[in-house]
Amino acid sequence: MPVLVEGRGEFARQFAVAPSLPERMVARADADGLPADHILRIRAAQFDKWIDVEAPGWSAANFVGAWARARRAWCDYTGDSLI
């Protein structure tokens, strides 16, 4: 069952499931004590920006690109399979 995520656009809220990739990335970075400029935190923030379809400049290309970069950073850091 989807869990509503506060601060998201209505469309994103309908399909959001907690925890989202950016939330997992930030939680992992916090748990591992990573600095603010670590790529995991940077990619999480960039992807989180484009999750909201009501954000200025939102496009599917921006969303998918940010997702791909965030997923790559997550997989590089955790060792999860990219595919």
* pTM of the shown model: 0.74
Mean per-residue pLDDT, 2-9: 51
Chain segment 25-63, per-residue pLDDT in tens: 999 999 999 999 999 999 999 999 998 888 899 999 999
Neighbouring residues of 74: CB distance < 8 A, sequence distance ≥ 6: 21, 24, 25, 40, 43, 80
pLDDT computed for residue 17 by the predictor:
55
Residue ranges per structural domain of the chain: 10-78
pLDDT computed for residue 53 by the predictor:
85
Q: Binning pLDDT at 50, 70 and 90, where does residue 3 land? A: very low
Instruction: Bin 22: left if φ > 0, else alpha if -120 < ψ < 50, else beta.
Output: alpha
